[in-house]
A and B are shown apart, each in its own frame.
Chain A
């Protein structure tokens, strides 16, 4: 424990999947996810990972293979980004509706058009309501650890839901970071064998993916919604256990220098690290600014967010996608809704930044805070747009 080794985050994520001893990998290469899948393919081809690698012809097929594989009781992983996620979207909703514990690593990338290979969160937000557990990672270590976490949570009999691990494309996927790696023993002690409640097997015949008549569809949807919300204690339990194994403690909502803060920045993903540098600078300049990191996007951590934002005068939400025509952005919209019924609520500012790979520096974050506090009254800004 404690020895840090530099590795590209994509390669590390694939190594984590290998340590989880996945049975099936079905994926189609797409930038910026490519290195994850390439490395998994290499591990299988070289005999280091005893898994079936299915080189599918599209992302739609990738998720379809994953559904069949998980239904048969195999530990299953895939990975995609942007247009790939859009193409597989149909099956993404089916995977969760059928309660299949697939793990998917999403290398977040902007949706076309204009065609972009660069990072933002528009792909993840497109499937926001897909009924998966959705986590946003801040750095490489975070990504690596959450591969193990995802399988443990997904396959838990109390959960049985797919888990999406979001990592910012290029900003995380293509960067070499110092990370602490798990041993085979750690992985085995942390992650029990996958024992599905039901699987496709001739010894005990079941039907999966059946038609849902109007008389039963709403009941199934309710059961799915409750299952996703009820997965929360298991998610926390898996984080606690991860802390015991690695010494690193993750939470649904994390705080950085929030004591006595009048203004809070709220962000998801790698932007949290950038924002923490901005907070340091603003604190040094005597400004009472802190950072709230939202790691768990679904199930949404209502209680923690209400508690975290309760004392603030202003909250500046940094969004990485646009709710086009909706007058704000997905994270802001959620935060405003959550705080609406609170007796005292902060002013919630919507700052959209980093679209399609536009760089966001700590100075940009400070600027956004200044702009928000100056209060021009706009419902939302797309920061840095010219003209």
Chain B
């Protein structure tokens, strides 16, 4: 399934909703569920990677070239675990637009 789930027309679905392609859950962007967004405060961050480990959706990864951590907002549900776990309060949760 190359198309995102919310782009598929009724005549394009497989009969009976059969899934023919393994791992296609990634085409579903759970980031649309987010009501709060994590804001990264680079100056406070000590690069401990705790947020990366704790993220239940594997939506945070290190960018070694820029020496920062980055969020994949296609999958970040805004659960706030990263902000809770951050030992130096370098992540702040703000209301999503």
Contacts and interface: CB of A to CB of B under 8 A. Distances in A.
Contact of A160 (B5, B10, B16, B20): B16
Contacts of A197: 15
B39 interface: no
Contact of A223 (B13, B20, B22, B28): B13
Contact of B18 (A207, A213, A219): A207
A205 B21 CA distance: 8
Given A205-B22, A206-B20, A213-B28, A223 B15 contact: yes
Given A219-B13, A220-B13, A206 B18 contact: yes
B8 interface: yes
A163 to B, nearest CB: 15
A345 to B, nearest CB: 32
Contacts of B14: 198
Q: Considering the complex of A and B, which 10 residue pairs feature the smallest CB-CB distances, nearest first?
A: A99-B16, A222-B10, A207-B19, A215-B6, A219-B10, A98-B16, A99-B15, A215-B5, A223-B10, A223-B13
A97 interface: yes
Interface residues of A, number: 24
A207 B10 CA distance: 19
B15 A212 contact: no
Interface in A207-221: 207-210, 212-213, 215-216, 218-220
Specify the main secondary structure of chain A where it touches its partner.
Answer: loop
Interface in B1-44: 5-6, 8-20, 22, 28
A223 B11 contact: yes
B28 A98 contact: no
6 contacts: A198-B20, A208-B18, A212-B17, A220-B13, A220-B17, A226-B11
Contact of B17 (A98, A226, A227): A98
A206 B19 contact: yes
Nearest to B7: A215
A210 B10 contact: no
A207 B21 CA distance: 8
Nearest to B9: A219
Contacts of B8: 216, 219
A160 B14 CA distance: 12
Given A205-B22, A220-B13, A220-B17, 11 more contacts: A98-B17, A198-B20, A206-B19, A207-B19, A208-B16, A215-B6, A216-B6, A216-B13, A219-B10, A220-B10, A222-B10
Contacts of B16: 97-100, 160, 208
Interface string A189-215: 000000001100000011111101101
Contacts of B6: 215-216
A226 to B, nearest CB: 7
Contacts of A216: 5-6, 8, 13, 17
